[in-house]
Amino acid sequence: MMCLGLPQSVRACLFDLDGVLTRTAVVHAAAWKEMFDDFLRGREGEGFRPFSAGDYDTYVDGRPRADGVRTFLASRGIELPEGGSDDPPGRESVQGLGRRKNDLLLEKIREQGVEVYPGSVRYVEEVRKAGLHTAVVSSSKNCRDVLVSAGIEDLFGVRIDGLVAEKRGLPGKPAPDTFLAAARDLGVPAAGCAVFEDALAGMEAGRAGNFGYVVGVDRVGQAAELRRHGADVVVQDLADLTAQDRQEDSA
Ligand SMILES: [Mg+2]
């Protein structure tokens, strides 16, 4: 068996998408910032406090879109009506702001394409070669399109994304339900699953679901925060997990 840097008990690997498999977390962050800064400027004028990287990490990253809107606005003491799913993008409602963010995201993805992290793709391939099961677990409703654009949709036996979660009535991260659904669909108990996440909300989901192992992927220098929110190990790239094994082997 290949060295995967995981406990022997792990039979399945559950991967987040944006920021773990693909370089799309930065695109999400840019779309959220553009949308929220426009909104805040319109409300408070040029003296507004801009949406920051810390706001993204704490209130938005990893959560379903509408939860991200609500959680960030609450942090600024703002409450908006929920609105309907047919609210036009940009209307001052949770759904309207969420749709505006999604339009900006899709525009940026169309312009820039989807880039994968090569170390992650190699790691998923090794995991499969070793006979472990794989799933992708994402809050995004664009998950399937992003997987197809990146050419990696065949690497996952199960996909639990924002559309599946909505259909099954599953609460999103930081609740563990979407990860637990993936484990169930793969037929592996939570204790036999490793969770791979870059978001603080994802760490909490991993901890709340009592998964066997939680890998924090630190793309933005928040290793300590990832640990505090439940990571068993923190790496900068999934390739580091296999490198760790090689170092231990030769020690
Ligand atoms: Mg992520």
Q: For residues 60 and 35, is the Cβ–Cβ distance under 8 A?
A: no
Mean pLDDT score across all residues of the chain: 94
pLDDT tier, 251 (very low <50, low <70, confident <90, very high otherwise): very low
Look up residue 2 and give its two tokens: 């290949």
Residue 96 Cα to ligand 1 midpoint, Å, equals: 23
Report the separation in Å between the CA atom of 16 and the middle of ligand 1, taken as the mean of its atom positions.
6
**Residues whose beta carbons lie less than 5 angstroms from ion ligand 1:** 16, 18-19, 198-199
CA 219 to chain centre: 12
- Of residues 91 and 11, more confidently modeled: 11
- Residue of 18, 67, 177, 198 marked catalytic: 18
Task: Express each pLDDT in 151-179 by its tens digit.
Answer: 999 999 999 999 999 999 999 999 999 99
pLDDT at 246: 53
| pLDDT band (50, 70, 90) for residue 85 | confident
Share of the chain above pLDDT 90, in %: 89
From the candidates 16, 87, 232, 240, give the one annotated as an active-site residue: 16
Catalytic status, residue 237: no
Task: Tell me how far the alpha carbon of residue 43 lies from the centroid of ligand 1, in angstroms.
Answer: 29
**CA–centroid distance, residue 250 to ligand 1 (Å):** 33
Confidence of residue 90 (pLDDT cuts 50, 70, 90): confident
Q: How many residues does the chain have?
A: 251
**Range 83-95 average pLDDT:** 90
Put simply, whether the predicted model's pTM sits higher than 0.75 gets the answer: yes
Contact, 205 vs 199, CB < 8 A?
no
Q: What is the mean pLDDT of residues 58-82?
A: 97
> Rounded to an integer, what distance in angstroms lies between the CA atom of residue 204 and that of residue 99?
26
Q: Evaluate if residue 248 carries a pLDDT over 70.
A: no
Local confidence band at 245 (pLDDT 50, 70, 90 cut-offs): low
User: Would residue 16 show up in a list of annotated catalytic residues for this protein?
Assistant: yes
Span from the CA of 44 to the centroid of ligand 1 (angstroms):
30
